[in-house]
Amino acid sequence: DVKVTQSSRYLVKRTGEKVFLECVQDMDHENMFWYRQDPGLGLRLIYFSYDVKMKEKGDIPEGYSVSREKKERFSLILESASTNQTSMYLCASSLSAYGYTFGSGTRLTVV
């Protein structure tokens, strides 16, 4: 089975800190995605990548950046964490739009 691993289940960071959320997949998928999930708002796409060193903005990229130096790893970076970035962050990978595999999520709290 494809596995998508997010490095942390829970994180607590301070306002203004630089935060790295790591995601690794083990099935050679081309596409990787970062979503955030908030109550009442559903899943919103932050950034995605369809190849190494290629990235594209999603619907809510402001305050975030990403890095994909290797095919299996896709990192989400919060340049200067703010309290409104407290959320559940979900990473996913896929070969195409036909069926995403999600990680277990990282619940980030910014205090």
Among 15, 80, 104, 109, binds other proteins (CB under 8 A): 104
Sign of CA dihedral 86, 110, 16, 55: negative
The one among 21, 32, 90, 110 contacting other proteins by CB under 8 A: 90
Q: Extract the runs of DSSP E, i.e. beta strands, from the chain.
A: 4-6, 10-13, 19-25, 31-38, 42-51, 54-57, 64-70, 73-78, 87-94, 101-102, 106-110
User: Quick one: 41 or 111, whose CB is closer to other proteins?
Assistant: 41
1 binds other proteins (CB under 8 A): no
Query: What does the binding site for other proteins look like in residue numbers (CB under 8 A)?
Result: 4, 31, 33, 35, 40-43, 45, 48, 50, 56, 58-59, 88, 90, 92, 96-105, 107
